[in-house]
Amino acid sequence: MSQFTTEWLSLREPLDIKSHNQNVLRNCVDTFKNHETISICDLGSGTGASVRAISPLLPKQQCWTLVDHDAKNLSAAKYILADWADSTQMTSNGISIRRSEIDIEVKFLLSDLATETSPWPPKTDLVIASALFDLTSNSWISKIINKLSERKLSLLAVLNFDGRMKANPSHVLDERMFESFRVHQKRDKGFGAAAGPNAVSVLEDTLQGYGYKVTSGNSPWRMNSESRPLMNETLRGIAAAVTDTEMLKKSEVKNWLDKRIAQTESLIIGHRDIFARPKEQ
């Protein structure tokens, strides 16, 4: 499974939160608004950004299980969440935190999702994944949705890359660079050939095939001078991926990146958010 550093996760977190599709979030929140408690499993949780972004919208008694294959991310999550909380108490397998009027029990599970498609605890109500499904394969998506369906669990999958990319001002190599990046996104990221930009349509079709009611909406990253560090790191990441494909000459990639770092005023990376619930809910 792909590695994401705590530094990269920290850099992208503010824009991730800003980019969430509000209609999709509202459908998720409305589904659980009459619950006194809720149990959530966060797949590929990183440093716990989804707890910080979504917990204020959910019932005031919450239990989160953060699942990640990187022990460093889980360790960082514990300390970042403790710093974010108003009060914190360490437990035998995690932490209990209070933020405003919300009580949150957080557990940490080290697990490789490439081989474990249903790591959630028995009493889970909602499964969350952020920027995950475009890294996974069509067959993995089918397996996890089958597991969700067996348990009648809802799914909130946010920030799934959808292939749309636009930079301003334009550069003569933009389309070749962006197409090469989309090709790279379909390479194996540890789950088999990745769904990449097709992940959203695969998710929607598969969920509907299992009888889920699906709400989806755009959640693009819109970067500009105010998000310059993230924009520059994103451009470097695109260039590195394209270099790996060997679809463009290294000199072309370098020329594009140098001009992009120096001249880019805005960069849009397309994503879509999805909330799916069993129709009987």
Structural domain boundaries, residue 147: 6-163+192-222+270-278
pLDDT tens digit sequence for 146-179: 999 999 999 999 999 999 999 999 999 999 999 9
Give the 3-state DSSP-derived string for 129-152, with helices as H, strands as E and coil as C.
EECCHHHCEHHHHHHHHHHHHHHC
Q: Is residue 180 part of a domain?
A: no
Q: Tens digits of per-residue pLDDT, 188-242? A: 999 999 999 999 999 999 999 999 999 999 999 999 999 999 999 999 999 999 9
In a domain, 254, yes or no: no
Into how many domains does the chain fold?
1
CB atoms within 10 A of CB 264: 20
Is residue 15 domain-resident? yes
Asked if residue 251 belongs to a domain, the reply is no
Identify the CATH number of the domain in which residue 25 sits.
Answer: 3.40.50.150
Strands 126-130 and 266-278: unpaired
Average pLDDT, the chain: 95
Measured distance CA(253)–CA(279) in Å, rounded = 48
Q: Which residues of 60-89 are buried (b: 16+ CB within 10 A; e: fewer)?
A: bebbbbbbbbbeebbebbbebbeeebeebe
Claim: this prediction has a pTM higher than 0.75: yes
Q: Report if residue 243 sits inside a domain.
A: no
pLDDT of residue 38 exceeding 70: yes
- The CA-atom distances, in angstroms, between 279 and each of 12, 144, 207, 208 are 34, 18, 11, 10
Q: Is 262 a member of any domain?
A: no
Task: Say if 260 falls within a structural domain.
Answer: no
In Å, how far are 60, 79, 221, 234 from 260, measured between CA atoms?
45, 36, 17, 11
DSSP line for 253-273:
HHHHHHHHHHH--EEEEEEEE
- The residue among 162, 154, 219, 155 whose CA lies nearest residue 22 is 219
Domain contains 170: no
pLDDT confidence of residue 1: 38
Instruction: Report percent pLDDT > 70 for the chain.
Output: 98
